[in-house]
Amino acid sequence: MTMTVDSRAADVRRHELAAFLRSRRERITPDQVGLPISGRRRTPGLRREEVAQLAGVGVTWYTWLEQGRDINASEQVLEAISRTLRLDPHEHLHLFTLAGAPEPPLEKDCKLLSQNVYRMMAKLEPFPVCVRNARCDILAYNRAYNWLMGDVDAIPFEDRNTMVQCLTNPEWRRRLPDWETNLPRVVAGFRAAMAEHLTEPAWKNLVRRLRQESEVFERMWKEHDVSGERIVLKRYFHPDVGLLRFEFSYLYLGRRSEISLATLTPADEETAAKLPSSF
pLDDT tens, 210-240?
999 999 999 999 999 988 778 889 999 999 9
Per the prediction, the chain carries an average pLDDT of: 87
The CATH architecture that domain 115-274 belongs to is 2-Layer Sandwich (3.30)
DSSP state of 136: -
Domain locations along the chain: 2-99, 115-274
4: confidence class by pLDDT, cuts 50, 70, 90: low
Helix, coil or strand: residue 237: strand
| Digit-coded pLDDT (tens) for 263-279 | 999 999 999 999 998 87
1: confidence class by pLDDT, cuts 50, 70, 90: very low
CATH topology agreement for domains 2-99 and 115-274: no
Give 34's Cβ-side CA count (13 Å radius): 3
Cα-only R_g, the chain: 22
The CATH architecture that domain 2-99 belongs to is Orthogonal Bundle (1.10)
Task: Tell me how far apart the alpha carbons of residues 235 and 238 are, in angstroms, rounded to a whole number.
Answer: 10
Q: Which of 143, 157, 141, 165 is nearest to 106 (CA)?
A: 157
Percent of the chain topping pLDDT 90: 42
- pLDDT at residue 196 tops 70: yes
Residue 132 CA, chain-centre distance (Å), reads 11
Least confident interval from 3-7, 65-69, 123-127, 155-159: 3-7
| Digit-coded pLDDT (tens) for 128-169 | 999 998 899 999 999 999 999 999 999 888 889 999 999 999
Residue 181 CA, chain-centre distance (Å), reads 24
Average pLDDT in the 245-253 region? Answer: 92
- pLDDT at residue 76 tops 90: no
